[in-house]
Amino acid sequence: MKREYVKPVMQGEAFVANEYVAACWKINCNVETGIGFIDQNNNNKYDRSDKKICRSNPRSGCGEWHTGVAGVPDDGPEPNAMWQPTDGWGIPIGSAYKVYWWSTGSSDHDQHFSKVSAAQWETNPNAS
Instruction: Quote the pTM value.
Output: 0.71
Reading phi first (left if > 0) and then psi (alpha if -120 to 50, else beta), residue 41 is in alpha
Is 46 part of a structural domain of the chain? yes
- For residue 99, the enclosing domain spans 26-123
- CA torsion sign for 118, 90, 59, 46 is negative
Q: Which residues contact 113 (CB under 8 A, 6 or more apart)?
A: 29, 30, 31, 36, 61, 81, 83, 99, 100, 101
**Number of domains into which the chain is organized:** 1
Note down pLDDT in tens along the chain; length 128 residues: 778 888 877 766 665 554 444 445 778 888 999 999 999 999 988 888 999 998 777 788 888 888 877 777 766 778 899 999 998 788 889 899 999 998 888 888 889 998 876 556 666 555 54
For residue 19, being part of any structural domain is answered with no
> Is residue 35 domain-resident?
yes
Q: Does some domain include residue 15?
A: no
